Structure 1
Amino acid sequence: MNSNKQRRGVISIIFAMLAALAVESPASAYSVYRGVVANPLRHVIWDEKNFGVSGATPNLSFFHYADDAAARAALPTFQCIIKIDLGNIAPPPAPGHHSLVGNAGIAVGAFTVDQPRMFPWQIDFDNNPAGHWSIARGAISNGNNNAASRVAAAGIANLVFFNSPNIAVINGNTIGCSR
């Protein structure tokens, strides 16, 4: 009789733990994407056109998609896609949520005349339009939009070339994309 009560107690505890886990949304790897064009050899073109900083509040835009396949479907005109893993974020984040891109151990690698800001850069979620994340021009450079675009291209390239674990070049509509 006593062992039956113990079993029921253990089972009750297990069900309570499972119910608690089901209620909480676990954090998981959360990535943002940006489509870019490549040269004929399928290498990303690391220039200000691919990393244009613009808008009413100048920024470099990225979008969250459920996975790589969803990003490819949403960005069909781009040969390659830059993917940045922002770490464990419980979806959906609230507007105003922010994460960091890059680390202080990797140089941005831009020309001094473009007034680059050092890593890490803050990326903010505003969900306008849906899934939109952005890095403000002021986080990238103290210069104008053109300077910030050149700094963004150089900085993202350095993160890729120095094998930052949170950034990758993936295939868009072209197979074999590389840095």
Structure 2
Amino acid sequence: ARVPDPELATTLLGVINVLVTIWAVKYMDVSGRRTLLMASWVGMFFSYVVMTISFVFKETFDCMDTVSVIAMTGVIIFFAFGPGCIAWFIIAEIFPLGARDTAMAIGIAINWVANWLVAFSFPLLLEIYTVWTFLIFVCTTGFFYWFTYNYVPETKGKTIQEVTEIFKVMF
């Protein structure tokens, strides 16, 4: 999308990201980590669907640049209150103290590798799949919703022993 002042837009998106993350950290003890994480996957899913639609109809409707900016803002907002912050809390709450540092290190490594893969592959994906590129992200967020629904327990207010018992029942 054509943005008149990219530096201002980047700053505003960064501020939105920080504010939503702060809200999520305060609100997750009310609603629960899993609930926010699942809601964020749904929001990201639909934001990526809208992003795809905006790319497909970019040449047809003048408003699609604005629609794509709104959709990407949605992705950032939904990411900020879901995997952007809650994943780190869940890692700390599902692993026993002796394994937390290793689990967190693995989580951080996976996060950075995933960031690199997206940044590195996106131009190539855009060249190959053109307007359909964001369908990859639609599928990815759909998968993560399914995974969260099936394999991520609610950890709000639970001890590590209670979380361990949940995993014993699940697996």
Return the TM-score normalized by structure 2: 0.26
Which structure dedicates a bigger proportion of its chain to helix? 2
Name the larger-Rg structure.
1
* Higher RCO structure, 1 or 2 (CA under 8 Å, sep 6+): 2
When you count strand as a share of all residues, which structure comes out higher? 1
